[in-house]
Amino acid sequence: MDVEVAVIPAAGRGTRMRPATRVVPKALLTVVDRPAIQYAVEEAARAGASEAVIVVDLDTGHLVQQHFLVEGRLPGLEEIRIRPVVQEEPLGLGHAVWEAREMVRDRPFFCLLADNITPPGVDVLPQLARVADPDKSVMCLRRLSDEMLSAYGVVIPASEEEDAVLEIAGAVEKPGPKDAPSRLGLIGRYLFTPEIFPILEKTEPGVGGEIQLTDAIHELGRRGKARGYVADTDLLDVGTPLGLLEASVVLGLDRFGDEFRSFLKEVCGH
């Protein structure tokens, strides 16, 4: 399936990254030499998207927009059109995605959470497009450890996994190890059909009083319209201080190679 549009929610204020995010939006925190959100836009462009709908908040959205639009196009991103949309109130991730409906219209779309960066040389969006069916949304999944079951959405499988693909009957947001219906977690990469928009419109606030994307995925699953693709690699999570540091090391090693590797060895004492 060819997917021409990507939705990138970037309205989160980054409470886990305070004080860095008191003024600077989370999406603009630097990883090596570019803001976190630029990695997501580059990934969408590599997967063939020609439009990136970035959902920003009212206070800092103009900064995100300026990053992409000042002084012409960023090198490597000449082929992708950046289209900002403002989420006026912080009502949750599901609501942020819903805000993109008028720009997406009736097209299937990738959704990328900018907190998660794919490691160098790893791309999962082409796999989601490969296993897509015009009628079904595809979620990228990973097997989670116990601690992670409280930090991620977790799916209810409806079939056995075959060649990394399975059907999904529903999903639960951050269930914790006791209530988790499986160990397969949603890791921030999705390929949705436009059927998600009317579902999001009716989705009531869930965990944390927020309109949860996971609850809309649950409804897709209930209708038999959700599929999972189990990725064979973890994404880098830049939404926490330790994760940001780890991502900087992984991407720094890729960028600077032996020079940085020797520095790390020296710091670690061997």
- Residues contributing to the site for ligand G1P (CB under 6 A): 93, 113, 115-116, 152-153, 173, 185-188, 212-214, 239
Instruction: Please name the residues in contact with 102: beta carbons below 8 A apart, sequence gap of 6 or more.
Output: none
Q: Which is nearer to ligand G1P, 50 or 248 (CB)?
A: 248
Q: Which residue has the tokens 């991730």?
A: 93
CB closer to ligand G1P, 52 vs 180: 180
Closer Cβ to ligand G1P, 190 or 197, answer by number: 190
CA 41 to chain centre: 11
- Which lies closer to ligand G1P via its Cβ, residue 11 or residue 104? 11
> What single-letter DSSP state applies at residue 13?
-
Closer to ligand G1P at the Cβ: 33 or 204?
204
Q: Which residue is at the shortest CB distance from ligand G1P? A: 153
* Rg, the chain, Cα only: 18
Least distance CB 129 / ligand G1P (angstroms): 20
Strands 109-112 and 5-9: parallel
CB of 78 to ligand G1P, least distance (A): 29
Angle between helices 36-46 and 61-69 (to 10 degrees): 50
Specify the residue, 185 or 221, whose C-beta has the smaller distance to ligand G1P: 185
State the minimum distance, in angstroms, from the CB of residue 258 to ligand G1P.
32
**How far, in Å, CA of 25 to CA of 32, rounded?**
17
Rounded to the nearest whole angstrom, what is the least distance from the CB of residue 174 to ligand G1P in the complex?
7
Residue 29 tokens, joined: 């925190």
Residue 269 C-beta: closest distance to ligand G1P, Å: 33
Look at residues 156, 151, 114, 115 and name the one whose alpha carbon lies nearest to residue 139. Answer: 156
Nearest-approach distance from CB 224 to ligand G1P, in angstroms: 21
d(CA 121, CA 111): 20
DSSP character for 164? T
